Structure 1
Amino acid sequence: MLEKLPEVIGHALHGVRAGLDKIIFNTLGMRQGMACISLTSVAFVDHGPLPPRYTADGEGLSPPLQWAQLPAETTSLVLVVEDADSPTPNPLVHAIVVGLRPSDGKLDEAAIPSRDNEGAAGLHVGRNSGLQAAWLPPDPPPGHGAHRYAFQLFALGSVPSFSSAPGRDEIFEALREHALASGLLIGTCERPDGSIKIEKTAPAGPLATG
């Protein structure tokens, strides 16, 4: 969505960012006393760069995720991915998935539908900021600096009746009422000179399949 902005615009907007304080994880008003879910990925480390295959300049796939330490009373999970550094009033939503089963313990690579991938059957996917029920690959503006993509997982004690493709507002209200615990994993992406910045990192392990 933002990669087509001229680099000069990216530099001019360098200080204009939604802010990490505006992601759902930090705005629920329930942080105190909430349990913490362990949310990790075999593809990247917390606050580390996202491999290009998960960005708009690569295959644009959704990355694999794993979770643990859920409250015993968890009945379902909600995943929300937001760009905390988008030059917009609120973070851009890159993915919403509701109704994830706690017992699965993971979401495989490419599970969320994307531009060239149908995704996993049976996932209940919400609307991203492009108004599509899909994974919106990271595509920060050239020259805007590093963007932090917040992968947020929420445990629910009961299962709300979501619409066919719920958006951010609907998700937020449901989480305010039903969230039991939350987890946060951040991946970064940057286009300093008009292209995705690729950082060499040792592989974290084999990608999940299924």
Structure 2
Amino acid sequence: MASKIWSGRFGGGVLVLALVILGAAYAFKAGGQSDMAGSAPVAPLALTSGSFKDGDTMPQKLTCDGLNISPDLQWLSAPSDTKSFAIVMDDPDAPLGFTHWIAYNIPPDTRDVAEGASTHNKRFDHAAEGVNSFGDIGYGGPCPPSGPPHHYVFHVYALDVNPALPPGQARDQLAASVRGHVLAEGRITGLYGR
């Protein structure tokens, strides 16, 4: 009887509350809030790719249905006091978010990353890579379930520190060490669906 009263009086309210909290969390992520930069405003970093144009479909070779290689990325206008760069690729359309690539300790004179610099079997030279949501170190390309295309956002951060973290860190570990140290951020978004 007590469980019937609980589910009748409170169950629906608890479910609605849970959905509101999840919706707010998704809206925060989808709105482009950066867990790396925190709430501090940062300068824009011009970010482009020779592999795809911002807002276009990513070529299959960059996905799990192809060669699963990282795209070409180039950036300009980094602040002069940049000490290192970090790259994060994520999928805000996944229900809980999904991190596909984390690279950090990238030297401050770097302005591009060649296509295929990171794969499941090859590490990105002159940088450390973290653990993605697949549980692997390195790049893990788009691999969405069937349905509408997902948005894959590449962030490049210019940092005023070199976090000097060892390889294999999780996204939250990187975020904790660079929060408050992001000078500029560039973003580019590719789409992929099945």
Structure 2 Cα separation of the partners of residues 38 and 61 of structure 1: 22
The answer for the alignment partner of 2:130 in structure 1 is 126
Structure 2 Cα separation of the partners of residues 20 and 50 of structure 1: 24
Contact 1:99 / 1:159 at 8 angstroms: preserved in 2?
yes
Q: Secondary structure at the match of 2:163?
A: coil
The answer for the alignment partner of 1:105 in structure 2 is 111
Structure 1 Cα separation of the partners of residues 67 and 44 of structure 2: 31
Structure 2 Cα separation of the partners of residues 130 and 136 of structure 1: 7
The answer for the alignment partner of 1:156 in structure 2 is 159
Displacement after TM superposition at 1:161 (Å): 3.3
Structure 1 Cα separation of the partners of residues 181 and 31 of structure 2: 14
The 1:67/1:158 distance shift into structure 2, 3 A limit, reads same
What is the RMSD of the two structures over their aligned residues, measured on CA atoms? 2.3
Structure 2 Cα separation of the partners of residues 157 and 25 of structure 1: 22
Contact 1:35 / 1:181 at 8 angstroms: preserved in 2?
yes
Number of matched residues? 171
Contact 1:150 / 1:187 at 8 angstroms: preserved in 2?
yes
Q: Tell me the alpha carbon deviations over residues 73-122 of structure 1, each in whole angstroms, 9 at most, x when there is no partner.
A: 00100000001111x32x101000001123221000111132xx424433
- Is 2:28 the counterpart of 1:21? yes
In the alignment, residue 45 of structure 1 is paired with which amino acid? K
Structure 1 Cα separation of the partners of residues 55 and 182 of structure 2: 24
Larger radius of gyration: 2
After TM superposition, the score normalised by the length of structure 1 is 0.74
The answer for the alignment partner of 1:7 in structure 2 is none
The 1:32/1:120 distance shift into structure 2, 3 A limit, reads closer
Q: Tell me the alpha carbon deviations over residues 30-72 of structure 1, each in whole angstroms, 9 at most, x when there is no partner.
A: 4663100011101111111101110111111111100111011
Runs of 4+ in 1 over 3 A off after TM superposition: 16-21, 27-33, 119-122
Structure 1 Cα separation of the partners of residues 31 and 174 of structure 2: 9
The 1:31/1:183 distance shift into structure 2, 3 A limit, reads farther
The answer for the alignment partner of 2:49 in structure 1 is 41
The answer for the alignment partner of 2:145 in structure 1 is 141
Gaps of 5+ in 2: 1-21
Structure 2 Cα separation of the partners of residues 20 and 101 of structure 1: 33
The 1:20/1:81 distance shift into structure 2, 3 A limit, reads farther
Which is helix-richer, 1 or 2?
2
Displacement after TM superposition at 1:24 (Å): 10
- Match of residue 56, structure 1, among 53, 56, 64: 64
In the alignment, residue 167 of structure 1 is paired with which amino acid? A
Q: Secondary structure at the match of 2:189?
A: strand
How much identity, in percent, do the aligned residues show? 30
After TM superposition, the score normalised by the length of structure 2 is 0.80
Structure 1 Cα separation of the partners of residues 76 and 56 of structure 2: 20
Displacement after TM superposition at 1:25 (Å): 5.4
The 1:39/1:53 distance shift into structure 2, 3 A limit, reads same
